[in-house]
Every structure is written in structure tokens, then in C-alpha cells.
Structure 1
Amino acid sequence: MTRAGLGPVAGPGLRQDGSVRITVVSLLLAAIAALTGFGVANLDLFAPGRDTVPLLFSLAVVWLLFAAAVIALRGVRGRAVVVLILAGSIGIGAAAMIGPPNTSTDSARYAWDGIVANAGVSPYAYVPSDPRLDSLRPDWLFPAPQIGADGSARCVGERIQTVHRDGPDEVLCSALNRTSVPTIYPPAAELYFAGVRMVTGPGPAYWPLQLTGLLLSVGTTVMLLFGMRRRGIDLRRAALWAWCPLVASEAVTNSHVDLLGVVFTLAAVFLVTRERYWRGGIALGAAIATKLIPVIAAPALLRRQGWKVIVAAVVTFLVLYVPYVLTTGIGVLGYLPGYLTEEGYQDGTRFALVSLVAPGGAGVYVVAILLAGVAALTLWKTDPAQPWLGQLLMIGSTLIILSPRYPWYALLLVPFVALSGRWEWLVVPIALSIRMLVPSVQLTRVTLAVAVILIVAMAFRRAGPGAAERLLRWRPFRGRPPGRSA
């Protein structure tokens, strides 16, 4: 490494500057871990009369610290980059395990589905409140109701809901958020849930999935580092995943299965770019069979030998579904149709920005046209050797157009932010996090509009003069030259 005429070995001033930057990054990472742990232990959405202001403030501060750490990392060179990225990934992720889930109870359903599957029962066969499953219920998921002075039963606990079964007098206390509906999760996710519970048994509460989430998130960091090194991409970009507050919160604390879909999707990308099309298709099929959402990562992988990727993905998807179809039939669809209706996707009420110009049912058609257009553009313009920029466009645009109220859907976006170095797309998960904490349509429209403006502005800034004219000519999407930093 040389600088301004220095020889191969940097002088004392440069070494001192590097040490200072390493110290600054280390302190910032420690602050992120400390604030993450404090938030998990003390702030949640389940307390009676909850106040979301502390959560919003904590969210803002941790994202600012994250941004400062990523900027400070630009001045670090050599092996220290990898050490800091891995240490931050492990340390922040471990801090995210300090307490139980604080913004979602989905992992309670994951645990229950795994317990049911390990008992030899299809998780699609019965709703969790079904009396035929009473012998399987652990106390931490289904605590006994408390009997009041008047003899009535009531459920107590921040994450505990009351479910009335055959009548108002038969009360079931449940930590699950939809105890009376079938599971919604595809078969690869169900195998994952069963695998975790096969190791730990039904007794431990939330930490087994949190630990698994930590291992998968750190594994994703390692995968990114290896993939970036092989392709000559600046390793410092991996910090955009490794230290991202969304990853700590939604992959570890709340243990969302979307992370497993990220792992398979990223594996598919690296396999396809190495011309392992069949293997890449298998990984993509497993990703789609985990949460369905990774299907939007597919168009960018189809420019070269796309038929192999499609065939392998479809076969893998079907093979994973067949055992459940044979035992449960159409029940494998679970709560998916009901979920789409509940979330407002069938009548268009969920689309925050699209509903401004196409309210109601018309929004569904506008969204379909927009998504088809983005997919076509991605397929047309993506460089098959560097598909991550096309995937960034496809995944990020889908999140903006659909505007889900759950930020963990944006986990799929983050590794492609890292690979492409387009940090501005991280405003999308920030906007979705705000939407979850403050369910205001007007605020959601403002935050998503800000995200769109920033993304478009940065795209033209990166493209330089004449960007509009070049966009109309065929040229594949390309990332920065590999040696440049994020």
C-alpha cells in the first residue's frame, strides 16, 4: 500500500491514522451493540399502553451510529477490515439476543410448527388452537390461565393472547399471534423449524431461533466476504450487511425466517455467477420454498442459461412441497389467501404510494403492471456476471410499490445493497420500520417518497452527465468498479 510517494511500507503517520480509525470503528461498534442490547431488554411493542417514541428514538440513534461506523471503516485497510466486520457481526448479533422478541411474535409460531412436526403431525393439518394438539403444548407458548376471584379465567403476559375455543368459558392462553388460523409458511421453512426444535426440544423458549439467526447472519457475512474477495469487490461493503440494525433486529432478536431465504438466495447468486446454473437453481428453489418472496430475485439470474435455473428451481420447489401435499392436500396453502386479504393486497388498500393515483381495486392492476415492467427491465439490462444491481432494483422497487408494513421483508434487499455498494437503498427498510412503529398512511407516503427521491438522485449522480440519454440505450446494469469503496 502506498500513499503520496510513500514506499511499500507506510510511514508512522499513516500507521497512527489507521490505528485511530480502527479505534473509532471499534468504539462505534461497541456503542451499536450496547444500544441494541438495551433496546431489546427494555423496549418492546407488547407492553400495555406502549409508547413507540423510545423505540423510534433508539432506531434513529442506532442507524446513525451504523452510518458513522461504515463511513469510518473507509479509512481502514488490510486484515483489520475483515476482523472488524466479523467482530461487529458477532458482537451486535449477540447483543440482539439479550431479550425475547420485541416487535414481533412470529418466532412463537415457528417454534410451535416445529414442535408439531416433530410429533409426526403435519403443521398444515390443524390450527394451533385445535384440542387434538393439547398434549403437545409447552407452558411458555400456552401458559395456564389465571382464575380470578369471580371464577373467570384470564390470560396474563405481554405476549400472551386470549383464545376462546368451544365457548367463552373455555380459554386458551397463547403466545402465537394467529392461534385460530393455519400456518402460512412454505415447506423449507417448516423443515427449518422442525430441525431447530429437533435439537433443543420443546422446552427452551425464544433463544434457540435467535441463536440460529445469529449463526445464519454471521454465515451470510462470511459468504459475502468470500464472494466479494473472489470477485474483486471492496470487502468493506460487507459491513452494510454485517452491522445493519435491520439484520440484528429482524434476523436475530425477532428471528424471522426470511433470513434463511436470504442465505439460499445469496448462494444462488454466487453459484449462477460461477456458471453453476443447476445448483444455483436448486438454491433459488429452496429460497422460494422458504418464504415465496425470494422469487423477485429470479429475473436478474435468467439472462444466461436461464432455463436451467428455472427448471432446477421449479423442481426443487415441487419436491419440497410433495410430501406435505400428499398428507394435507390443498391445506398446504395454509393462511396465505387469508393473509393477502388481511393485509389489503387483494383490494389495493395496502399500496401506500400507488393508492394515491389508483385507489381501491384499480391499484392491484397498476401494481401488477409496475412489477412486470421492473422485472422486464431487470431481465433486459442486468449484467449476468454482476446480477446484484439488477436484484437491488427488482427487490427494492417491489418493496416500495407494495409498501408492506413489516420491515423484515427488506432483509432480502440488504445483501444486494452490500454487493452493489448502493447504500441509499437502505432508506427503504428504514421507511418500513417507521411504518411498523407508526402505522400512519400519510407518514408512510412521506418516508417512501423520500426514499424514492434519494435513490433517483443518487442514481443520476452516480451516472454522471447524459444519464437520461444513456438509459434509453442498451447497456447492462453494472456496479462500481470492483476496487472502489462503498
Structure 2
Amino acid sequence: MNNSVPTAAPAVDPLARFLSSAGLVSLLCYAVVLGLSFQFQYGVGHADRPIPAVLAAFLVAFVGYLVVAKAVVRAPRDRGIQPARLRLILGYALAFRLVLLPSEPIQEIDYFRYLWDGQVLAAGGNPFRYSPEQVERLGPAAPPGSDLAGMWDVANRSETVRTVFDRVHHREVPTIYPPASQVVFAAAAVATPADASLASHALVLKVLLLGFDLGTLAVLIALLRRLRLPATWCVGYAWCPLVMKELSNSAHLDAIAVFFTTVAMYLFASVPRRPASSRGRWLALGGGAFLGLGVLAKSYPLVLGPVVAGLLLARLGWRCVFPLAVCAAVVLVGYAPFYSPKHTDSGNTPVTGLGTFLGRWEMNDFLFMIVHENLRPASAGGVERWFVVTPDARREAVVIGGRAAFARAGFEVSDRQAAFLLAQGVMGLALAGVVVRLAVGTYRRPTRRTFLRAAFLTLGWAWLFTSAANPWYLLWGLPLVVFAGRRAWWLLPGLGLTYYLRFWMEYQTFDRAAAFQEARNLFDFGVVWLEYLPFFVLLAAETWWPRPRRVVARPR
């Protein structure tokens, strides 16, 4: 007789069931986006582009993402079922990305510049040396064998490459993208036959960027485990619809810098407390190297310098100078080949394009817009909008003083440029104040979570203060969103997609110049309030009336 007691069948994990259902809904949303994307053909059918339908699909996916993230973060930590949950999260994360990989980039043309830069570098040229406009204007008559003639030959090496060249926007500006990203672009060019279809060129680039995207996810999981937090918290990055839109669909190069920067954050967070061990110093040096690679992929990681310095000063003492020096050395070595006299005789340098970008680009901004409009007088195109409280005479005096200061420094600028640069200065000082405060806080309490929260907030406020608040810039800090400390920050990746409404509003008035400008103004000075205010209202509410916080892990 068998006296053994039968064991109960294991209970079904309700969170796993919920993840499966939510994942299927999100997958359906991305399948809808895939189908709609093919209506976004370059240069045609602007008024018929289904931008509202695409945004509706992303909205459904984003609401599901927020619900899933809340459920995952609040779920009890049952180690026995964590692996199954993680497999579900990662499986769906990969599926989301693969569904959108063959999609037509939606309202995106930056990748033409990436493809062109890659063709130039792969052919041995310097993409920083000449702008596409210079190549088109001077290339046909350039001396045979010159770099300019070589770039003109590259532009005409195949019908596809010529199409890429013709579609590069802001043609008068040399590339703004740093050397590490250029290497990735060149790898895509080498891996794709010149006469392959344009879709094939874009797909190869997307696959390379997908590798960096998935690498970021892997490093994030390692970081969470280092802090003894559930690896399932990676859902904050893994399932975010903004990642699907801006990487898998739009092929933004930010995936490269985000990967290198996340590796750097992992290595810095792994540095033990003093007294510094040999292992800790090597981790810090590695972090410095990867932070340098991040700067070589896109310049934004520079803003993390003070927070990193605060952590390393607290943990390594005076030895913190070495990883910071390694970071600087990596950046200098990366740029050095492009700074030879031969490569700067055109009047352009590797930072010419970046300087142009910082000196005139304004898009989807809010805080910068408010400051700028309160500095810009009527002589510089200023308008008495309802939120402008500075008298025009005061604005005029400030701009005149600014122009005089720029003139003394050797720069002649117009009233319009002076107002813009002064606004940049104000926002730069505001960001500096935030970063210094976060750096000091990290130094005084150099725990891993304090450091990672400070790093996230640095990148988050950098986006809020910028004049060009493109939604894909929110990817910079997204891997660290679980350390944000305020739920309001989770809203920004969804709110940022409001940016795409501007194009739809413009397209409805393409044939009427006055109405077209009115549509732009309605978005730039009206809709952006609806984009940003929910975030600031919730952030203020959480700051002034904080809820009791659950203890999720001991600071380390």
C-alpha cells in the first residue's frame, strides 16, 4: 500500500499570466504600427500619414507598460518564480523589437545621415570634413584624387547610395555624430552591398543597433543583480514603447551611447567602498574607459562627469583622477585621427556640426521655450505670448547687452541669435546647479542606489532643460528609470511621443503658408504645455506630499 501523500500541483503564477496577456496586447499594438508604417514613404502622402493611429497604438502599449511595470516592481520577491517571469519579459521584449525591425521609419530621416557618414568613412573619407552641400557643390569640379572628389565618387557609386546622399537633411551642416558612432555606421556600410536596396541598408543598420539595445538590457539585468534587486525590474527598459519607436523603428544611434554609458554605470556602481582594493581601481578605470566610449558615441555622457566624480572621490579618494583621466584619454584618442591639418582645411572640425546644433536647434522644448520667449524682444521675432512676463524694453536691453558681450569675445551675433544663446546660458546654469547638487549628494552618501538615482536625474533634467527635446533623448537615462525615486519620471517616455503630433498638425496645412505657421505656433506654444504639465504636476505632488516608501533593499 502506498502511504505517500500526493503533492499539490504548483499554483499558476498570476503575475506570469498577466505578463503573458499584457505582452500579447503590446505585440498586437506593434504589429499594427508595423502595418501602418508602410504609409510613411519618403516625401509623399504627408497629409494622409496615419500619425494619430500610430500614436494611439503606442498609447495603448504605453498604458499597458505602466501597468506591467507597477505590477512587476510591487510583486513579492519569490525566487522560485522569478526566472519564469524574467523569461517572459525578455521573450516579449525581443518579440516587440523583431516585429518593428522591418518597419518603415515613422517620421524619421536621421538614418540617411548615418548611412551617408558610414559610406564616407568606409571609403576612407572623413565625414566631419565636408558637409553634403559642399560635396554636392564642389565635388564635381574637385581635383581627381582629392578627398572631396572621393566623397563625390562615393555619392555616385550606386543608385541607392545616391538616394541616401540626396535625402540627407540639414545638408549645409557637417555631421554632428562622434567617432564611435561613425565606426558603427561604417560597419553597416561594409556589411551591405552598395547596390542593395535602401530597405536593406536600413535593416542592416537596425540590426547593429539592436545588438547595442539588447546589450544594454543584459547589462541592466547584471546591474540589478549586483544591487540584489529583482532582475525582472529590467521591464522598465525592456518593454518601454519609446525604445521600440526610436530604436527598432527609427534606428536612432542613441542605442550605441546608451549601451556604453550603462556599462560604465555598472562598473562604477561595482567599485567597493574605501579602502580601495586593486579590483575596485580596475573597475573604476574600466568605467572611465566605457564612459569615454559613450562620449565618443554621443556627447551627452559628459554631463555625468560631476556625479561620477562625486562617487569616485568618496570611494577612491585622490585616486579618482585616474578613471576620469582614462575617460578623457579615450575621448582624445577617438577624435585625434579627425583633427589632422589635412582634415580641417575645409574650415570644418569634428565639433563644427555640434556647435551649429547647440547654437540654433529648438524643438519640442518647454522650460527653454519659456525662458527664451521671456528674453527675446520684438526686434528678434519675439511675440507677447500669455506666459511672457518680461517687458519688451527689458528684453531689448538684455539682448543688446548680450550682443555687446559676444562682440567683446569676438563673436558677432544678431538679436535673434543673442536671445537664443542667452537662453542656452540660463538653462546651462540651471542644469549645472542641479548636477552639482546631485554630485554633492552622491559624495556625501556614496551608495550604489544614490549614485544611480543621481545619474538618472542628471540625464532626466538635461532633457528637460534642453532646447531640442527630441523624445529619443529620453533613452539616455531610461535603463536607470527604476532608480528615479519619483513615479512622474515614468510618464515622460509616453508624454514625449506627443512630439509627433506637430508633424500631423503641419501636414494638414501644407498648402496654406499662414495656417502652416499657425499650426506650428499652436504646437510650440500650446500643445507642449499638455505634453509637460502632467509630469510637472505629478512631480510636484510627489515632492510636496510624498507617500510612505517601501523598503526594497538595503543601500549598498
Q: Please, what TM-score do these two structures have when normalized by structure 2?
A: 0.71
Which residue of 180, 197, 208 maps to 1:188?
A: 180
Larger radius of gyration: 2
In 2, are the aligned partners of 1:35 and 1:58 still within 8 Å (CA)? yes
Secondary structure at 2:107's aligned position in 1? Answer: coil
Is 1:261 equivalent to 2:257 in the alignment?
yes
Which residue of 289, 313, 320 maps to 2:327?
A: 313
Distance 2:215 2:487 in 1: 21
1:186 to partner: Cα distance = 1.2
1:408 to partner: Cα distance = 1.0
Aligned to 2:371: 354
Change (3 A) 1:196 1:13: same
Alignment-mate amino acid for residue 315 of structure 1 = A
In 1, are the aligned partners of 2:254 and 2:475 still within 8 Å (CA)? yes
1:460 to partner: Cα distance = 4.7
Aligned to 1:324: 338
In 2, are the aligned partners of 1:268 and 1:284 still within 8 Å (CA)? yes
Secondary structure at 1:185's aligned position in 2? Answer: coil
Q: Mark the runs of 5 or more structure 2 residues left unpaired by the alignment.
A: 1-6, 140-148, 272-282, 314-319, 377-418, 503-522
Q: Mark the runs of 5 or more structure 1 residues left unpaired by the alignment.
A: 1-9, 144-159, 161-172, 466-478
Distance 2:432 2:474 in 1: 20
Is 1:136 equivalent to 2:151 in the alignment?
no
Aligned to 1:338: 356
Paired residues for 1:378-457 under 5 Å: 378-382=438-442, 383-384=445-446, 385-386=448-449, 387-420=451-484, 422-438=486-502, 439-457=523-541
Residue deviations 1:96-150 (CA, integer Å, cap 9, x gap): 212221121111111111111111111122222413333223323424xxxxxxx
Which residue of 308, 322, 326 maps to 1:301?
A: 308
Distance 2:56 2:19 in 1: 27
Distance 2:290 2:193 in 1: 28
Distance 1:21 1:43 in 2: 34
Secondary structure at 2:498's aligned position in 1? Answer: helix
In 2, are the aligned partners of 1:277 and 1:309 still within 8 Å (CA)? yes
1:412 to partner: Cα distance = 0.3
In 2, are the aligned partners of 1:184 and 1:334 still within 8 Å (CA)? yes
Distance 1:218 1:407 in 2: 20
Number of aligned residue pairs: 433
Secondary structure at 2:474's aligned position in 1? Answer: helix
In 1, are the aligned partners of 2:456 and 2:483 still within 8 Å (CA)? no
Alignment-mate amino acid for residue 85 of structure 1 = I
1:12 to partner: Cα distance = 5.3
Alignment-mate amino acid for residue 53 of structure 1 = P
Is 1:458 equivalent to 2:455 in the alignment?
no
Alignment-mate amino acid for residue 159 of structure 2 = D
Aligned to 1:124: 128
Distance 1:35 1:298 in 2: 41
Secondary structure at 1:260's aligned position in 2? Answer: helix
In 1, are the aligned partners of 2:189 and 2:201 still within 8 Å (CA)? no
Change (3 A) 1:11 1:40: farther
Alignment-mate amino acid for residue 46 of structure 2 = P
1:350 to partner: Cα distance = 8.4
1:380 to partner: Cα distance = 1.0
> Which 10-residue stretch deviates more, 257-266 or 288-297?
288-297
Alignment-mate amino acid for residue 448 of structure 1 = Y
Aligned to 2:12: 15
Which residue of 283, 286, 289 maps to 2:296?
A: 289
Distance 2:181 2:16 in 1: 44
Change (3 A) 1:38 1:283: same
Distance 1:251 1:175 in 2: 20
Aligned to 2:47: 49
Alignment-mate amino acid for residue 37 of structure 1 = L
Alignment-mate amino acid for residue 135 of structure 1 = D
Distance 1:22 1:12 in 2: 21
Distance 1:301 1:106 in 2: 31
Secondary structure at 2:438's aligned position in 1? Answer: helix
Is 1:178 equivalent to 2:170 in the alignment?
yes
Superposition CA RMSD, Å = 3.0
Change (3 A) 1:220 1:44: farther
Change (3 A) 1:69 1:392: same
In 1, are the aligned partners of 2:192 and 2:201 still within 8 Å (CA)? no
Alignment-mate amino acid for residue 48 of structure 1 = H
Change (3 A) 1:20 1:371: closer
Q: Percent of pairs identical after alignment?
A: 22
Distance 1:273 1:395 in 2: 17
Residue deviations 1:225-261 (CA, integer Å, cap 9, x gap): 1221121112222111011111111122111111111
Distance 2:485 2:190 in 1: 39
Change (3 A) 1:443 1:482: same
Change (3 A) 1:64 1:399: same
More helix by share: 2
Residue deviations 1:57-107 (CA, integer Å, cap 9, x gap): 233222123223334545594212211121122111111212221121111
In 2, are the aligned partners of 1:188 and 1:320 still within 8 Å (CA)? yes
Distance 1:126 1:102 in 2: 28
Aligned to 1:251: 247
1:314 to partner: Cα distance = 0.9
Distance 1:242 1:198 in 2: 30
